[in-house]
Chains A and B, each alone.
Chain A
Amino acid sequence: VIGLVLPSIHYLAILPISILFVAALVLLVASALIRGALSRTLTTAFTLAASLAAAAAGIWQWSYVAGHGATTTIAHAIVLDGFAVVSSAVVALSLALATLVAHDWSKREHVAGAEYHVLSLAAAAGAILMCQANDLVVIFLGLEILSIGLYVLVAFDRQRATSAEAALKYFLLGGFASAIFIYGAALVYGATGSTNLTSMSYFLGSNTLLRPGLLFAGGGLLMVGFAFKVAVVPFHLWSPDVYQGAPTPVTGFMASIVKVGAFVAFLRVLVSALGTQMDTWRPILFVLIAASTLVGASLGLVQRNIKRMLAYSSINHAGFMLLGLYAGDARGSAATLFYLMTYAPIVVASFAVVTLVGGEGDEAHSITTYRGLARRQPWLGGALAVLLLSQLGAPLTTGFYAKFAVLAASVDAGGGALALIALLGAAIAASFYLRWVFALYADEGRDAPRVAVPPATGLVIVLGVMLTVLFGLWPGPLAALSQHATVLFTP
C-alpha cells in the first residue's frame, strides 16, 4: 500500500504568498457574488492592505531567519532565507506602489471591476514564489503564475489594438520561453537526478560528470528561459513592443516584479545549484551582459517613444544586474539584490510619471510631449529628472550605488574588462536619459495643458524620489541589509 505522506509545512515561510493569494481569491469571489461593480476605492484599499501585510510579514520572517538561519520547508521545495525575505518584501512593496498608480489610471480610463487587482495580486504572489523557490519545478510554477497574470494585464486596455497585440506577442514568446525552461529543467533532472537546487548542488559537488553534455544542454536551456523573462539581448525582442503596448501602470509593475522574481530565481539556479559549473556559464553570461548593456543602450538612442526607450533602458539595467551573477559569490549576490531593491521603486515611479503624462487614452508617449514639462510643472518635471538621473547612475542617487555594487563585485571576481564594457554601455545610455531630461527643461510649450497629478500617483512619485535621494545620500543601511540578507543565504 502506498501511503501518501504530506510534507510538513512551515506556515511562516509561505505567509506573504498566502496573504496575496487569499486576498486575490477573496476579491475574485467577492466581485462575483456582489451585484454591480465593487467600489474602486475599496478594491484599491484592499489590495494595498494585502500587499502591505505581505511586506510586514517579511519583518516577522526576518526575525525568524535571524534567529534560526536559513531553512527549507515543504520537502525542501520552498526556502526561507534572508535573500527570499528581502526580495519578497521588495515585490510586495512594488505591488503596493503599482496599485496606487493603477487606482488613478483606472479612474481616468474608466476601468471598473476588481479583475485588475486580482490579477496583480496573483502575479505578485507568483513573483514571491520564484523568490522563495528551491526547486526547478517550483520556479516554473512561480514563473507561470507570474506570467499568466501579466499576459492578461498587458491586454487590459481593451480599447487599444496595440494592447492586445502586445499581449499576444508576450504570450506566444513567453510560452516558448516557458517551454524551453521546462525542457531545460527536464534535462538537468536527467543529468543530476533531482530538480531540487540543494540536491543538485550537492550532487555536482560530490560527483564528477564524465559526460556533462546533458547538464550543459539543460543548464543552457534554463539560462535561455531566464534570459527571455528578464529580457537580455539577444532574447529581448518582445520587450519594447510589450512595454509600449501594455497599459502604462502595468508596464511599471511588470518591469519591477518580473525583474525581482526572475533574477532571484536565476541567481539561485546559477550560483547555488550550478555554482560548480561556474567556468562553463561565465562565458555565456559575459556575452549576454556585453550584448545587453551595449545593444540596449544603442537601440535606446533612436527611440522616439518614451515607453520603448524605457524598455531598452531596462534591457541595459538587466545587463548590469547580471554582473552580480557573473561574480557568482556573496558580494555579487548582495550587489544584485541591492540593485533590485533600488531599481524597483525607481522604475515604478518613472512609469507613474509616464502614466500621468500619457493622458486619457494612454497614447501621448512621444518625447515631444515632455518638452518644457519641467518649466510648466517644476515639481513633476524635476521629479522625473531625478528619477532619470538615478537610472543613469549619477552620484547622490541610489542608481549610482547600485551600479557601484555590481561593478565592484564584477571587478573583484576578475571581470574588470566586462565592467568596463558595461560602463561604456552606461555612457551610451546616459545620452538618451539626458536627451529626455533636456527635453524636460526645453524652453517651449509654455501653453501646453498642465498634467493633472492625482494624490495616489503623486504619493508614488514622491516616495520613489525620496527613496532614491535619501539612500543616495546615505546608502549604508540598504547596503548592509543586502549584505546581511546574503549571509543568510540558502542552506
Chain B
Amino acid sequence: VHSSLWLTVLVALPLVGAVVAGALRRREGAAYVAGVVTAGVELVLTAVVVVLYNSHVAGASTFDFASRHVLAAPFGLAWDVALDGISLLLVALTSIVLVLALVGARDRRREPAFVAWLLMLTSFTMGSFVAHDLLLFFIFFELTLVPSYFLIAQWGAREAGRAALKFFIYTFTGSAFLFVGALYLAFLHQHQAGGDLTFAYGALSATVMSRSSAVWLFGAFAVAFAVKSPIWPLHTWSPLTYAEAPTAGSIELSALLAKLGSYGLLRFAVGLLPLALTTMRPVLLTLAVIGIVYGSALACVTPDLKRLVAYSSLAQMGFITLGVVAGSKIAMVGAVLLMFNHGVITAGFFLLIGFVERRRGTATIADLTGLQGPAPVLAALFTVVMLASIGLPGLSGFVSEYLILIGTFATHAWWAVAATFGVVLAALYLLWVYQRVFHGRAAGENAQIADATTSERWVMVPVVVLVVVLGVFPKPVLDRISPSVQQLISHVAPAGVSK
C-alpha cells in the first residue's frame, strides 16, 4: 500500500494554490502565475501517482493509497481516501483539465478571484474522485457547487446569473435525494453491524437489504447523479448553463463535473446497490438511449456552438450510462474510458469555441461561415477533435464507443442497436456544423479573423496528442482500468454476467 498522503496532497495543493492566488490580489498577473505553477505541480504529482499505482494490494480489492481517519464519530465523518483504476483515470483527467482550463482562460489572467475559484473547484473535484467514503464523497460533491456557481455567475455571459442559479438549484435538489439515501443506507448498516455510524465504502457495500429498499435507494442515488451527468430527462439545466458559462467554466462543467455524475452512478449506485440493478437496468438503459437519440437530434438543430456541445455531451453521457449499467465488463471498461475521452474531447471543443468567440464575439452558427480560409490551423484542430468525437477509428472516441456498443450488444442487444443510431447522428450534426462554420466563402468580419496563435496551438497540443495516442494505443490505460472493473462487476454480478 502506498501512503495516502499522496492523495491528501493532491486534494490540498489546489486549495493552497487558491489561497495563495486569492492573497496575491495586489500584484498584477501574479495570481495567474501561482495558478499555473500549482496546476503544473499537480500534474506532475498526478503522473507520479499514476506510475506508482498498484492494483494488487492484498485485501484491498484493487484500491491503493488507502487510509481512514475518523474526524467526528457522531456524524460518521472520516477522512477516507483511496484510489483504484477507475478513479485513477478521473484523477488524471482532473489534473489535465485544470491545465487546459487555466491556459484556455488566459484572458482572465488578471483576475485573481477567477484563478482562485478554479483551483478550489479542482480541489473539490479531486476530493470527490479519491473519496472512499459515501459521506466524504457527498461533501465534496456538494462543495463543487460553490466555486462553479461563482465561476458561472460572475464571468459568464448575459444570462449567467440565471443559468448559475438554475444549475445550483437543480443539482442541490438532486443531491437532497442522495443525502437522504446515504443516511438511510448508513443507518441500515449501523442497525445490522452495530458500532458507530459509518459511511465507509467497504462497510456499506456489505450491507444486507431487501430488493425493494435497494431499488428505492438506487432511485434516490440515480436522481442526484442523473442531474449531474446529465441523463435525460433531468438535463434541462445543461444547455443554458454550458452556453452562458465562461470558457473555463464550460470546460470544468462538461469535462469534469459531468463525470462526477457518471462516476457516482458507477461507484456508489451500481457498486453499493447491485441488488437493484435487475429492476433499474431497463429503466436506465432506456433513458440512456433516449438521451443519445434526443441529444443528437437537438444537436442537429441548435443554433449555437456551445449548446451543440451541450447536447452532444448529453448523447455522450448517454453512452457512458449505457456502459455503466449494461452489466458487461467490456461495456463498463468502455464507459470508464469514455469518461476520460469525452472529458478531453469536450475540453478541446470548448477551447476551440472559446478561440472563435474571442475573435468574433459570438458562438452563433449562423454568424459564422468560411472560417477555413482565414484560419486553416483552427479548422484543422477542430477537424481532429470533431473526428474523435464522431468516433473515427484511430482516434480516442472510437475505442470507447466501440467497447460500450459491443459490450452492451452482448447483454442487451436491442438497446445497443438503438444507441448505434447516435453514432450516425453524431457524424451528421458534427460534419454539418463543420460545413456551415468552416466551409463556404468568408465575408465581412469572418474574412478578417486571425488564425490560431502560437500559444493557442500549444494549448491544443495535449488534446490532440491524447486523442491520437489513446486512439492508437489504449492498452496501458485499459490495463489499469480492467482489474478494478473486474472487481466491481464480480461484486455486482457474482454469477458472472460478463460475456
Which secondary structure characterizes the binding site on chain A?
helix
**Minimal Cβ-Cβ distance residue in B for A423:** B176
- Contacting residues, chain A, for B161 (C-beta < 8 A): 438
Q: How far is the CA of A412 from the CA of B190 in the complex (A)?
A: 10
**Minimal Cβ-Cβ distance residue in B for A422:** B176
B143 on the interface (CB 8 Å rule)?
A: yes
- Contacting residues, chain A, for B456 (C-beta < 8 A): none
B495 on the interface (CB 8 Å rule)?
A: no
Name the distance in Å between B67's Cβ and chain A's nearest Cβ: 18
B142 on the interface (CB 8 Å rule)?
A: yes
A394 contacts B142, C-beta separation under 8 Å: yes
B146 contacts A389, C-beta separation under 8 Å: yes
Q: How far is the CA of A424 from the CA of B178 in the complex (A)?
A: 12
B72 contacts A476, C-beta separation under 8 Å: yes
- Contacting residues, chain A, for B75 (C-beta < 8 A): 401, 404-405, 408, 475, 479
- Which one, A400, A416, A480, contacts B180 given CB within 8 A? A416
B165 contacts A431, C-beta separation under 8 Å: yes
Q: How far is the CA of A428 from the CA of B168 in the complex (A)?
A: 10
B58 on the interface (CB 8 Å rule)?
A: no
Stretch at the interface among B148-156, B363-371, B405-413: B148-156
Which secondary structure characterizes the binding site on chain B?
helix
Number of interface residues of A (CB under 8 A): 34
B184 on the interface (CB 8 Å rule)?
A: yes
B153 contacts A427, C-beta separation under 8 Å: no
Q: How far is the CA of A394 from the CA of B144 in the complex (A)?
A: 10
Name the distance in Å between B145's Cβ and chain A's nearest Cβ: 8
B195 on the interface (CB 8 Å rule)?
A: no
Name the distance in Å between A358's Cβ and chain B's nearest Cβ: 25
Q: How far is the CA of A483 from the CA of B75 in the complex (A)?
A: 11
- Residues 8-58 of A contacting B (Cβ, < 8 Å): none
A389-B146, A394-B146, A420-B177 known; A483 vs B74 contact (CB < 8 Å)? yes
- Contacting residues, chain A, for B140 (C-beta < 8 A): 395
A475-B72, A475-B75, A476-B73 known; A395 vs B168 contact (CB < 8 Å)? no
Q: How far is the CA of A407 from the CA of B178 in the complex (A)?
A: 13
- Residues 158-185 of B contacting A (Cβ, < 8 Å): 161, 164-165, 168-169, 172-173, 176-177, 179-180, 183-184
- Contacting residues, chain A, for B71 (C-beta < 8 A): 474, 476
List of 8 A-B pairs having minimum Cβ-Cβ separation, nearest first? A423-B176, A476-B72, A479-B74, A427-B173, A411-B183, A395-B139, A427-B172, A420-B180
Known: A407-B180, A479-B75. 11 other contacts (CB 8 A): A394-B142, A395-B143, A396-B139, A396-B143, A404-B75, A411-B184, A424-B173, A424-B176, A438-B153, A475-B77, A479-B74
User: Chain B: residues with CB nearer than 8 A to chain A?
Assistant: 71-75, 77, 139-140, 142-143, 145-146, 149-150, 153-154, 161, 164-165, 168-169, 172-173, 176-177, 179-180, 183-184, 187, 197
Q: Can you offer 20 A-B residue contacts whose CB atoms are under 8 A? A: A389-B146, A395-B143, A396-B139, A401-B72, A405-B74, A405-B75, A407-B180, A412-B187, A416-B183, A427-B176, A428-B169, A434-B149, A435-B165, A441-B154, A475-B75, A475-B77, A476-B73, A479-B74, A479-B75, A480-B74
